[in-house]
Amino acid sequence: MRYFIELQYNGSAFCGWQRQTDRPSVQQTIEQALSTLLRHEIAITGAGRTDTGVHALYYVAHFDTETPLPDPAHTVYKANLLLPEGVALRSIAPVNDEAHARFSALSREYRYIVSPRKNPFTRDTSWQYYVPLDTERMNRAAAALLEYEDFTSFAKLNSNNRTNICRIDHAAWTTERDGTLRFTIRADRFLRNMVRAVVGTLVDVGRGRYTPEEFRAIIESRDLARASSSAPAQGLFLSDVRYPEALFRRTVTD
């Protein structure tokens, strides 16, 4: 029987989502907890990779088990007692055996947080960047992302992507009351390191290194060397994964 897990994690202590042979990963940490709890080996499949230091406000994974869980909510409770503080399961729900946490997803959404001041309490969850940024210029540049599908300019070198085509349907900056900047971007898929490369380049638009028109030219160039350095990992959060409603509907909020 197949189950979907809704979960959150702080990526600061992990080398990313994907299982590693010699370093701690979120995937392996959850597998160990569930295997201990259910008393047989559990392998989980996630909605996608996140890199070292990247967080997830909302993440979905699936696992299979021959014996149905009598009380999924109690399983969540017990698993959270075994998991470290940086990982929290929110729900476990049965789904159709054909449902797949990665391949069934319609879209994914990321948030990136830029803090304009030094704050010891958000050091691991934001990019503390002290240069004033023009968000109007950044949003004019970000709007161009919706007009293109080839994002080779923001693809990680030697990442072995089958295609660099992504369809972005939302990309915008907002400013919180305390001056914190939030970038939200949603697409059917993302390339490895793509969001951080986009954010790093948009920040350079905001500080005046590039114009919005030059940002458009960077996209059109399909040249990774034209993009800016990637934004730091700690400001990035996977914030949503959407599925067909008939298959799975999100049950938890941030």
Query: In angstroms, rounded to a whole number, what is the distance separating the alpha carbons of residues 164 and 154?
Result: 9
Residue 229: both structure tokens together: 């350095």
Residues 144, 220 contacting (CB under 8 angstroms): no
Query: In angstroms, rounded to a whole number, what is the distance separating the alpha carbons of residues 26 and 58?
Result: 13
Query: In angstroms, rounded to a whole number, what is the distance separating the alpha carbons of residues 94 and 213?
Result: 48
Spatial neighbors of 13 by CB under 8 A, at least 6 apart, are 24, 84, 86
Q: How many CA atoms lie within 13 A of 165 on its CB side?
A: 2
Residues 202, 192 contacting (CB under 8 angstroms): no
Task: Give catalytic status of residue 51 as yes or no.
Answer: yes
Catalytic residue among 22, 51, 124, 254: 51
**Catalytic residue set:** 51
